[in-house]
A = this chain, B = another copy of it.
Amino acid sequence: MSGENEENEALQASSDSLRRPIRSDAKRNTDALLAAALAVFSISGVDAPVREIVETAGVGIGTLYRHFPQRADLIAAVFRREVDACADAAPALMETLNPADALAAWLQRYTDFIAAKRGLAPALHSGDPAYATLHGYFQSRLEPVLQKLLDTAVLAGAVRSDVDANDLLRTVANLCMSANGTDFSLARRMVDLIVDGLRYGAHGKA
C-alpha cells in the first residue's frame, strides 16, 4: 500500500562507504533508543528530557547524539511509520466515501494521530530550525495526499476552492496543540467545524 519505503529503515550509506556494514552494537543501540523513545514519548510527551530516554535505553548520551545528531531526527525516526500509515489511509477512504466525507474522515484520522502525541504539534510548529526536517517529512508525505482529497471534493462541488492543503495541515496541527494526549474531543469538534466551513463556502459564498 505504501509503495516506496520498503522497510529499509536503517539504510546505510549507499554512495561512497559501502565498505563496512553497520556494526552489531550500533544496530542494537539504535533499536534500543527507538524503543525507549517511543515508550518515553508516550508517557512524558515529545518534550521528554534526552537523559530520560538514554537512561531507559541503557546507553550513554554520546551514543544518542551519534545516531541522531539532532533531537528532531529521533522524533522523525520514531514517527515515520505512523506518518506513512496516515498517508496510506487515504485511498481506502476515497473509494468508500463521497469526496467531502472522505476529506472529513481523513482529516479526523490526521487529527487523532497528531493529538495523541503530546508535544508533537508544538514541536512541528515551533519554528525552531532543529525541527525543519521533521516538518519537512510530514509535509512531503501528507501534503500530496490531502491535496488530492481536496481537489476531488472541489471538483465534485462539495467544498470551496480557496483553501490549500498545506494551510489545512498546519491548521489541524494547531488545533491539536493543546490536546493533553487523552482528550482530543475539542480538536475533533473544531476540525468538524472547519470542514463545515469548507462545505458552507461551496454553495453559500465565495
Residues in B whose Cβ lies below 8 Å from that of A178: 125, 127, 170, 173-174
Which of A8-16, A56-64, A80-88, A198-206 touches B? A198-206
A91 at the interface (CB under 8 A from B): no
Q: A170–B179 Cα gap in the complex (Å)?
A: 11
Least Cβ–Cβ distance between A44 and chain B, in angstroms: 13
Least Cβ–Cβ distance between A204 and chain B, in angstroms: 7
A190 at the interface (CB under 8 A from B): yes
- Return the contact of A196 from the options B175, B186, B196 (Cβ within 8 A): B196
A154 at the interface (CB under 8 A from B): no
Instruction: Tell me whether A167 and B180 are in contact (CB under 8 A).
Output: no
Q: A108–B172 Cα gap in the complex (Å)?
A: 19
Q: A204–B163 Cα gap in the complex (Å)?
A: 21
A197 at the interface (CB under 8 A from B): yes
A193 at the interface (CB under 8 A from B): yes
Least Cβ–Cβ distance between A103 and chain B, in angstroms: 13
List A residues 156-196 near B (Cβ within 8 Å): 163, 167, 170-171, 173-178, 180, 186, 189-190, 192-196
Residues in B whose Cβ lies below 8 Å from that of A199: 200, 204
Q: A174–B190 Cα gap in the complex (Å)?
A: 11
Q: A149–B170 Cα gap in the complex (Å)?
A: 28
Least Cβ–Cβ distance between A196 and chain B, in angstroms: 4
Which A-B residue pairs are the 7 nearest by beta carbons? A193-B197, A196-B197, A197-B197, A125-B178, A200-B200, A196-B200, A177-B177
